[in-house]
A and B are shown apart, each in its own frame.
Chain A
Amino acid sequence: QSALTQPASVSGSPGQSITISCTGTSSDIGSYRYVSWYQQHPGKAPKFMIFDVSNRPSGVSDRFSGSKSGNTASLTISGLQAEDEADYYCSSYTSTSTWVFGGGTKLTVL
């Protein structure tokens, strides 16, 4: 149950687009479309942002989108806004009926 690999930090200016990668293995991301993403602001509980690789729950802005290729999933945020500054975590279901998170990525809006 090794953690998925995410970049420690990414940054972008307001209005720009950024992409956060999440790399796993053939036992998790590579085998399933069961990838999800979570946003966490400081001192707050995580918020559910994306499921099934690219689906958005009701109420999540369409500026957030997800994709997957091979063992790597990605979260793209377009039209960056100051309120997007937060930590982002990916997660995947695994072949051993467990769940694994990425280490988290800190997004800074410049």
Chain B
Amino acid sequence: EVQLVESGGGLVQPGGSLRLSCAASGFAFVGYGMIWVRQVPGKGLEWVSSITGGGGVTYYADSVKGRFSISRDNSKDTLYLQMNSLRAEDTALYYCVKDLGGWPFYFEYWGQGTLVTVSS
């Protein structure tokens, strides 16, 4: 059974940093792209960033480019999102998502999310 467990969310001041983690299990982690998607409570979904299985290629939404960095440690089956220069508009529930396999990425399995709140 695929399991994705996010952690690292919390309250941070504007301009601050946070690193999210996602522990994956139940599948061959290195063989799949991984994605971060966020959702402001009560609002819609927003794609944030994606990374290929080997970690060599990354993609970012314009809204986070230059501030966020996606990475993965395939020896630990863990996905990360380093978030710097955080803004109030980054406040959201951040989901870790497993790709279906193949290209382009599809959002097959979702974790339960970790909440990030940016506020002074």
| Binding between chains A and B | yes
Provide the bound-state CA to CA distance between A9 and B59, in Å.
31
Contact residues in B for A97 (Cβ distance below 8 Å): 59
Cross-chain contact of B107 among A91, A98, A100, A104 (Cβ < 8 A): A91
B90 to chain A, nearest CB (A): 16
Residues A98 and B44 in contact, CB atoms below 8 Å apart: no
CB pair A48–B59 under 8 Å, yes or no, is no
Give the interface size class of chain B. Answer: 20 to 34
The closest CB in chain A to the CB of B35 belongs to: A99
Task: Determine whether the beta carbon of A48 is less than 8 Å from that of B44.
Answer: no
Q: A45-B110, A45-B111 are in contact. Are A99 and B62 (CB under 8 A)?
A: no
Which among B47, B50, B100 is the interface contact of A101 at CB below 8 angstroms? B47
User: A34: nearest residue on chain B (CB-CB)?
Assistant: B104
B47 pairs with A99, CB closer than 8 A: yes
Most chain A Cβ neighbours within 10 Å, of B45, B61, B107, B109: B45
A interface footprint on B31-75 (CB within 8 Å = 1, 0 otherwise):
000010000000011110010000000011111000000000000
CB within 8 A of B44: which of A45, A47, A51, A89?
A89
Q: Across the interface, which residues of A come within 8 angstroms of B61, CB to CB?
A: 1, 98
Complex Cα distance, B50 from A99, in Å, reads 9
From known contacts A46-B45, A102-B44, infer whether A51 and B100 are also in contact, taking CB-CB under 8 Å: yes
B46:A101 contact, CB within 8 angstroms: yes
- Assess the A36–B106 pair: CB atoms within 8 A: yes
Instruction: Give the distance in Å from the alpha carbon of A46 to the alpha carbon of B111 in the complex.
Output: 9
Asked whether B113 lies within 8 Å of A93 as measured between CB atoms, the reply is no
B63: chain A residues at CB < 8 Å are 1
Contact (Cβ within 8 A) B62 A1: yes
Known pairs A89-B44, A101-B44, A104-B44; A51 contacts B106 (CB<8 A) = yes
Cα A98 to Cα B112 in complex, Å, equals 23
Most chain A CB within 10 A, of B44, B59, B60, B61, is at B44
Chain B nearest CB from A107 CB (Å) reads: 15
**Nearest CB in chain A to that of B111: its residue:** A45
Are B106's CB and A45's CB within 8 A?
Answer: no
B binding-site residues for A, Cβ under 8 Å: 35, 44-47, 50, 59-63, 95, 100, 104-113
